[in-house]
């Protein structure tokens, strides 16, 4: 997970302070209703072990952005990630990256969307 280093203002750029504050960026939980409202599809899969453990059936909740890139939302953690696969036939995962919050989900959907209607509220540029 990426880290952000915050440094205080200091005079000498060649000799930074010995201690730097470190803030870790964390993923925010995203509500099920918000994900479904954005057009994510829920596909239920049969897994008796999973159902016995959690009390509900296992399901994939995804939104395809391209043929090889999709967003995946996990019901247990309520967190989202972007996944890149090699091809649709094999679905081998080539890379994953966490999505930090709902606004980032909306931005990614808009970026990959061909539709005129956008889900983010961007300010109008004059």
Dist. CA 30–CA 100, nearest whole Å: 9
Encode pLDDT of 12-70 as tens digits. 555 555 555 555 678 999 999 999 999 999 999 888 998 898 888 889 999 999 999 99
Q: In the predicted model, is pLDDT for residue 106 greater than 80?
A: yes
Instruction: Provide, rounded to the nearest whole percent, the portion of the chain with pLDDT above 90.
Output: 50
Domains of the chain: which residue ranges? 22-112
């Amino acid at each position: 997970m990426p880290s952000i280093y915050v440094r205080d203002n200091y005079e000498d750029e060649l000799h930074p302070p010995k201690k730097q504050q470190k803030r870790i960026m964390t993923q925010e939980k995203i509500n099920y209703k918000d994900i479904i409202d954005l057009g994510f599809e829920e596909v239920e899969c049969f897994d008796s072990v999973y159902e016995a453990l959690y009390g509900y059936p296992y399901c994939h909740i995804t939104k395809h952005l391209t043929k090889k890139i999709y967003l995946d939302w996990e019901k247990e953690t309520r967190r989202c990630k972007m996944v890149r696969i090699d091809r649709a036939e094999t679905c081998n995962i080539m890379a994953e990256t966490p999505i930090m919050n709902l606004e980032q989900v909306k931005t990614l959907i808009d970026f990959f969307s061909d539709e005129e209607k956008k889900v983010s509220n961007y300010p109008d540029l004059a």
